[in-house]
Amino acid sequence: MKLRAFAPIAVLVLLCLMIAVFSPNFLSVSNAIRILNAAAIPMVLVMGATFVILMGSIDLSVEGVVSLTAVVTASLVQNNLTSADLGYWAVPIAMLAGGAIGAVNGATHVLMRIPSFMATLGIGFVCLGISTAALGGFPVRIADREFRNITLGRTFDIPHGVYIALAAVIVAYIIQQRTRLGRWVYAIGTDETTARQSGVPVERTRILVFALAGIFSGLAGALAAAQLGQGHGLIASGRLFTTVTAVVVGGTALSGGVGSVLNSVVGVLIVVVLTNGMVLMGVPPFVQQGVQGLLIIVAVSLALDRRLLSVVK
């Protein structure tokens, strides 16, 4: 195995050591739990995004889907605007809603032959518009404290959201390693023409993968609503950048066919640890954004072998 495959883990370890030198509080148990809690929702999001990127496509509807499913979740439990009270059932409903939006993403991309970045970007904006217009710009506040324990409750002092994120990683890993869908994703990302000639149902696989990404985004939307105690149009602000950055920093190639969901786990930890470390060291927010932007450029330059590309597009 190439040494490049271990680069993300090496970066994570070195990053932790560097931050620990400047801020001893970084190595405390309470801060470790804080990092895991901050990584929970991004971890769920990157599970779906990884499959899409492994396929050689990209999903830019993340913020829209999370926003809309968070509003759906908040509207289906005890809140300040409606009389609905479906309790925990709101979570699978949000996941189904996310899956439906993801299927629309895939169908728009495949059937209408629109590039994935454009199809998903447009649908993402539609979702953001719906979630904002449906509430008139006001948030839906969750009054059900038991529902909020989905993320805020703790077992062994670890937030429940972390356990849910771990379950999402396990499910994604099983899909990647043990199912035909996982094998088809790699085949399409490596060489779509060869995959098609080998009998891989390319169009159907693409739609299924976008639907799968939507399901994970729907779960993330439900977790965000439970964590923040509300649903509104701007609840997912910044999630897209974090998601794509984490996948790429973890070593999954934007060109497709290279990477895994475990790579993305490392990528999320790198992004969250970097953010946490900068906060502990008192780095201004605008500088943090600049560092994160530089991080994704460096990650892409290291992960992509440009010698194999005749055209950079």
Instruction: Determine the pLDDT at residue 284.
Output: 83
Q: Which residues of the chain have pLDDT under 70?
A: 1-5, 299-313
- Quick one: which of 79, 83, 41 has its CA closest to 218? 41
Instruction: Determine the pLDDT at residue 312.
Output: 39
In three-state secondary structure terms, 79 is strand
Helix, strand and coil percent figures for the chain, each rounded to 5: 75, 5, 20
Cα dihedral: 85, 89, 92, 93 (round 10) = -40
Instruction: Determine the pLDDT at residue 310.
Output: 44
Instruction: Determine the pLDDT at residue 10.
Output: 85
Cβ–Cβ < 8 Å for 240, 49: no
The residues near 7 (Cβ < 8 Å, ≥ 6 apart) are 251, 302
- Quick one: which of 220, 224, 203 has its CA closest to 167? 220
Tens digit of each residue's pLDDT (9 = 90 or more) over 276-312 = 998 888 888 778 778 877 877 776 666 555 454 443 3
- Quick one: which of 49, 214, 236, 261 has its CA closest to 131? 236
Cα–Cα distance measured from residue 163 to residue 295, given in angstroms and rounded to the nearest whole number: 28
237: left (phi over 0), alpha (psi -120 to 50) or beta: beta
Instruction: Determine the pLDDT at residue 180.
Output: 95
Q: What is the DSSP string of 14-47?
A: HHHHHHHHH-GGGGSHHHHHHHHHHHHHHHHHHH
